[in-house]
Structure 1
Amino acid sequence: MPRGGRRPKLWALRGDRSGSGPITEAECTTCLDGSGPADDGRGPALWCLAHAQETGHTGFRRIRTDFFRASCDGTAAEAGG
């Protein structure tokens, strides 16, 4: 048992659904120009096609960001630990 007689708290990570969903961006691997963030993948995909047509660049990096939130569910003993 930890010092002071307290049991450790049990923490967990879960997907954060309180805000928007995942954020998608695209980045050209040639010039590093980017689409900017969007709530869906359609805008960045269209940006890639327009950028390819304008520049001839054909390589892109898709970046998807989602979010986690830590929460405390109680002590390890309460959770069966």
Structure 2
Amino acid sequence: MTTLTAAAAQDRLADLINGVVEKHKTYRIRHGGESALLISEAEYQGLKETLQLLSIPSFRDSILRSIQQMQNGETVDMDEALEE
């Protein structure tokens, strides 16, 4: 993640916006002791949706079970899955 001062970001704002939208970059912009992140609207919406889904206990538990199964090698390939 690239960090810029607020003044530097202001001078390059159009380029930074293009970077976050077209190249999925993230920028940290500092002003004094504070900082903010510049991300695309699509990235922001995706993060909000992910947080919303993970806040549903049954969904979160299902994801965690799936990860555990994958780590334990309890997977099937696509052909096997389609046969069922």
Q: Which structure features the higher share of helix residues?
A: 2
Structure number with greater CO (CA < 8 Å, separation at least 6) is: 1
TM-score by structure 1 length?
A: 0.24
TM-score by structure 2 length?
A: 0.23
Larger radius of gyration: 1
Q: Which structure features the higher share of strand residues?
A: 1
